Amino acid sequence: MTLNDLPLATALTMGLVVAYLLGSIPSAVWIGKSFYGIDVREKGSKNAGTTNTIRVLGLLPGLFVLAIDVFKGWLAVYFAKFFGSSLTEINQDYLIYYQLVVGLFAVIGHALPVFAHFKGGKGVATMLGVVIGLFHEIIPLVLAVFVVVFIITHYISASSMSAAVSFPIFYATCSIWLHYDVNTIKLCFSIIVALFIIWTHRKNIKRLINKQEPKFKFKKTVD
Give the other-Cβ count within 10 Å of 102's Cβ. 29
Question: pLDDT category, 1, cuts 50, 70, 90?
Answer: low
Section 128-133 average pLDDT: 94
User: Phi/psi of residue 213, each to 5°?
Assistant: -75, 125
Quote the mean pLDDT of the chain. Answer: 91
Q: What is the pLDDT of residues 172-195, one digit of tens each?
A: 998 888 767 778 899 999 999 899
Residue 64 has what pLDDT?
95
Residue 75 has what pLDDT?
97
Residue 61 has what pLDDT?
94
Residue 92 has what pLDDT?
78
Residue 223 has what pLDDT?
64
Q: What is the pLDDT of residues 57-107, one digit of tens each?
A: 999 999 999 999 999 999 999 999 999 888 877 877 899 999 999 999 999
Contact of 45 with 213, CB cutoff 8 Å: no
